[in-house]
Amino acid sequence: MSAHELRTLVEGASRQVGLLWPLDRAVAVNPLLDSIDVDFPTAVSSLGARLGVDPWPTHEHLDELARREGARPTPNQRGPRAAKRLPTIAERADLGRSRREGAERAMVGQVLLEATSRSSEVGDGVLDRARQVLAGRTSWVVAPRAVRSIAADLLGSLEITGLIDRLGSWSGPEVEEELARHFARLPGWAAWAKWHDSWDREGHPAGVTRVEFLSLSMAVDLAWLDHVGALSSPPSPLLIADASPPGLDRLEQLETAVHGSMLERLAPRQPVDVPEPRFQVVTCIDVRSEPLRRALEERADLETFGFAGFFGVLATVQPSGDQESYESLPVLAAPSAAIVGGPSPTVGEDERVAAGGTVAELTHEPTAMFALAETTGLLGSPLLVLRSFLHGREASSPEIPGDWHLEADGVADIAEGALRGMGLTGPFAPEVLFLGHGSTTANNPHFATLECGACAGHSGGPNAAALAGVLNDPEVRHVLADRGIAIPVATRFLSGVHDTTREVITVDGRASNELTSVLSSASGAVARWRNGDERLSTDAARRRLASKAADWAEVRPEWGLADHAAFVVAPRSSLRGIDLEGRSFLHSYDPANDDGGAILASILAAPVVVAQWINAAYYFSTVAPGVLGAGDKTLLNPVGDFAVLEADDPDLRVGLPFQSVATGQRPVHLPVRLLVAVEAPLERTAEAVLSTPMPRQLVEGEWVRLVGRAGPLEPWVPWVPGIGWGTP
């Protein structure tokens, strides 16, 4: 078998495998990213058959919709509650083999867990370490010694092609189906391997390739077959599942109501302009910015803009001191600049290094984390009290934006691209604020899922500060003036950070007292809204949020992007004053400043794609939490610094924790596809969709629902796949 043939087999077998980013840069991603060339119903049905889950909204979601609408669920809406696990294709095809699936699955998770935890030396790869684990007499892998020995010998003597040859005279499709079965058996480890193959630029020390994963998994299977004397037969091919399953009807019922409600709020109306703004605030498009923008705009002379939270600066952030650098940009792009500087570590960071380092390391060791709490017992109490106290101090002291500056070629080009992309080309207010966002949580392995998705799971503060610094440079302003963007001498560009967990906004020291007061008042209103009690004082509301952020036992410090439903691309004048309930991404776009349509095309090709990934991550974490979600937060244990396990299950968990999408037994996130609403000439939107591969696949394959209108007074027109614009 040639290298090309092997690569083709592995790529085909892993089409329905998701991607698992490391915890410290977690990125919400569509687990069916490689299947978007297939229509949504078919791809989702096939995934459900492969993994043995019902991948559609449940009757509980319809009941939750009815509760929100003030209606009682009707009897025909009710039905079987929590769906039972369905038999997978592999299990239905070979019941004899499925009886060993549990033992084989556990043996492969366990070996990978120990092999990736061992330090890698020169010439010592993952499979070498896996063989050492299997051959070791003190191995904690639960399997007969004979099976471990056979598997170790196979790994030492055969490469992946040799292991495939052991299957016999199977056809190419049969081999691909067998490899797909191995991936589906441990979807978490498979997703980690796929990320390492496809996205790992730096070479993570715990990285595993798909070929290494398959080699170990096949060696274990063959070892068990040799041990029990059973014969292996080709698996039945995966049949194309019903593309119109009953669950699709439930999804469409939800979407009719949820999308319909959003479009009612976005009904035609006269635009509201701000002719002479005193302040301009640019926030991330994140749904958590929507209520803040609404609160800020209570002031008539304040104008807001929505733009992806990296603010057009594709950079690697290099903090001062000994802190590690990281990439703060969409994962679809590559860095072309560096952001240097920043604040010193916070009190909480000092405490973690000084007092909690040993415990932190132990909780990251796979062989030690389950026993840590039991072995430390009461001896660990003083440390827990200390850490709780210090985290409380950290939560009550917002981080001051640092002195970040941009190092790049063509900084004027970066500045121009950012301003034109966000539609901020004049007139300019005296104070213009770029407001990044981040979060504050304690004891939360999934902290990065609450950070800025446009910054690869990091805060957008450094990007905001870097852009502000560039635009305050007189030389850059001179170049921009020659290019048609005239910035008044009196205009100051500022930066800040919106802490979405605590609803605290911190800006740099050059902001006027008036702007600081406006920001504090608006964030205070949002804090009361997030508490669900408008009677609370601002201080009381913030204290509640700060307490949740600092609480080690808090499983839900904030709701993140739960219950989002739409992505709106339009001038803010068309939306100003509309309450979208924090359920919509908002990207500023002025068709009058985009004659060629290039800006709209870039919005659909990048921010909309990232938003669809987020939408898919929330969807699958909601409909299939046991397989495509991270599980119960109270049972999660970290594996190194890159993943989590749930209790003693050896597979890595993907997706979002159950507590991020539900409370108790009641759904909070309603799983619907993303509604993309674009206000622009319809022919321009159609061209932007059809001229770029990924947006075309998302729209034509019904991964998103697209509607468009030519202006704020026009009705919304739906896009019909294969046809184009329909009728209002």
Residues 147 and 281 in one domain: no
H helical segments located in 118-159: 126-135, 145-157
Q: What is the pTM of this model?
A: 0.91
**For residues 676-697, average pLDDT:** 97
**For residues 319-325, average pLDDT:** 84
pLDDT beyond 50 at 350: no
Q: How many CB atoms lie within 10 A of CB 719?
A: 22
Residues 178 and 291 in one domain: no
pLDDT beyond 60 at 399: no
Q: State how far the Cα of 682 lies from the Cα of 685, in Å rounded to an integer.
A: 5
Cα 433–chain centre separation: 26
State residue 398's pLDDT score: 38
Q: State how far the Cα of 233 lies from the Cα of 44, in Å rounded to an integer.
A: 27
Query: In whole angstroms, how far apart are CA 537 and each of 524, 533, 543?
Result: 9, 9, 10
Name every residue whose Cβ is closer than 8 Å to that of residue 120 and which is 6 or more positions away in sequence. Answer: 126, 129, 205
Assigned domain for 124 exists: yes
DSSP 8-state code for residue 143: S
Assigned domain for 713 exists: no
Q: State how far the Cα of 99 lies from the Cα of 375, in Å rounded to an integer.
A: 36
State residue 613's pLDDT score: 97
State residue 17's pLDDT score: 93
Is 24:448 a contact under the CB 8 Å cutoff?
yes
Is 602:322 a contact under the CB 8 Å cutoff?
no
Residues 169 and 307 in one domain: no
Residues 222 and 371 in one domain: no
State residue 722's pLDDT score: 95
Q: For all residues of the chain together, what is the average pLDDT? A: 86
**For residues 38-50, average pLDDT:** 92
Residue 88 pLDDT grade (very low, low, confident, very high; cuts 50, 70, 90): very low
Residues 216 and 309 in one domain: no
% residues pLDDT > 90 (the chain):
70
Assigned domain for 24 exists: no
Residue 124 pLDDT grade (very low, low, confident, very high; cuts 50, 70, 90): confident
Is 364:638 a contact under the CB 8 Å cutoff?
yes
State residue 230's pLDDT score: 60
Assigned domain for 701 exists: no
Q: State how far the Cα of 658 lies from the Cα of 545, in Å rounded to an integer.
A: 20
pLDDT beyond 80 at 482: yes
State residue 136's pLDDT score: 81
Is 667:684 a contact under the CB 8 Å cutoff?
no
**For residues 341-348, average pLDDT:** 53
Q: How many CB atoms lie within 10 A of CB 611?
A: 27
Is 514:521 a contact under the CB 8 Å cutoff?
no
**Which two tokens mark 444?**
């939360």
The residue assigned the tokens 């993952």 is: 126
State residue 141's pLDDT score: 76
- pLDDT one-digit tens code per residue, 254-270: 999 999 999 999 999 99
**For residues 394-402, average pLDDT:** 47
Residue 117 pLDDT grade (very low, low, confident, very high; cuts 50, 70, 90): confident
Assigned domain for 351 exists: yes
Is 28:562 a contact under the CB 8 Å cutoff?
no
pLDDT beyond 80 at 157: yes
Residue 640 pLDDT grade (very low, low, confident, very high; cuts 50, 70, 90): confident
- Three-state SS for 43-85 is HHHHHHHHHCCCCCCCHHHHHHHHHHCCCCCCCCCCCCCCCCC
Residue 321 pLDDT grade (very low, low, confident, very high; cuts 50, 70, 90): confident
pLDDT beyond 70 at 726: yes
What are the residues facing 506 on neighbouring strands?
A: 497
Q: Which of 470, 462, 420, 417 has its CA nearest to residue 588?
A: 420
Residue 98 pLDDT grade (very low, low, confident, very high; cuts 50, 70, 90): low
Least confident of 166-175, 348-357, 551-560, 652-661: 348-357
Q: State how far the Cα of 215 lies from the Cα of 668, in Å rounded to an integer.
A: 41
**For residues 56-68, average pLDDT:** 94
Assigned domain for 478 exists: yes
pLDDT beyond 90 at 316: yes
- Domain boundary at 539, 559, 590, which? 590
Most confident of 68-72, 106-110, 372-376, 576-580: 576-580
State residue 170's pLDDT score: 85
The residue assigned the tokens 């938003």 is: 611
Greater model confidence, 382 or 497: 497
State residue 464's pLDDT score: 97
State residue 228's pLDDT score: 74
Residues 206 and 330 in one domain: no
Domain span at residue 149 reads 3-19+87-228
The residue assigned the tokens 């409380």 is: 392
Least confident of 157-161, 514-518, 584-588: 157-161
Query: In whole angstroms, how far apart are CA 218 and each of 165, 382, 387?
Result: 11, 47, 45
State residue 562's pLDDT score: 97
| Tally of structural domains, the chain | 2
pLDDT beyond 60 at 146: yes
Assigned domain for 179 exists: yes
State residue 546's pLDDT score: 95
Name every residue whose Cβ is closer than 8 Å to that of residue 287 and which is 6 or more positions away in sequence. Answer: 561, 564, 582, 583, 584, 585
Assigned domain for 404 exists: yes
Residues 198 and 313 in one domain: no
Is 401:342 a contact under the CB 8 Å cutoff?
no
Kind of pairing, strands 492-499 and 302-306? unpaired
- Domain boundary at 197, 228, 259, which? 228
- Three-state SS for 593-658 is HCCCCHHHHHHHHCHHHHHHHHHHHHHHHHHCHHHHCCECHHHEEEECCCEEEECCCCCCCCCCEH
**Which two tokens mark 68?**
């929100």
Least confident of 222-231, 433-442, 630-639, 700-709: 222-231
State residue 103's pLDDT score: 83
Residues 317 and 422 in one domain: yes
Longest CA pairwise span in the chain (Å): 83
State residue 710's pLDDT score: 97
Residues 420 and 351 in one domain: yes
Residue 271, burial from CB neighbour count under 10 angstroms (0-12, 13-18, 19+): middle
Residues 561 and 480 in one domain: yes
Name every residue whose Cβ is closer than 8 Å to that of residue 598 and which is 6 or more positions away in sequence. Answer: none
Least confident of 238-252, 376-390, 578-592, 613-627: 376-390
Residue 13 pLDDT grade (very low, low, confident, very high; cuts 50, 70, 90): very high
DSSP 8-state code for residue 241: P
DSSP 8-state code for residue 660: G
Least confident of 116-130, 289-303, 396-410: 396-410
Residue 135 pLDDT grade (very low, low, confident, very high; cuts 50, 70, 90): confident
DSSP 415-484: HHHHHHHHT--SSPPSEEEEEEEE---SS-TTGGGGSBGGGTSB-SHHHHHHHHHHHT-HHHHHHHHHTT
Is 204:34 a contact under the CB 8 Å cutoff?
no
- pLDDT one-digit tens code per residue, 181-210: 999 999 999 999 999 999 998 889 899 999
Residues 101 and 209 in one domain: yes
Q: State how far the Cα of 183 lies from the Cα of 713, in Å rounded to an integer.
A: 51
- Tell me the three state secondary structure of residue 582: coil
- Domain boundary at 539, 570, 590, which? 590
Q: Which of 322, 384, 341, 326 has its CA nearest to residue 359?
A: 384
Kind of pairing, strands 326-328 and 315-319? antiparallel
Residues 286 and 197 in one domain: no
State residue 370's pLDDT score: 45
Least confident of 275-284, 390-399, 586-595: 390-399
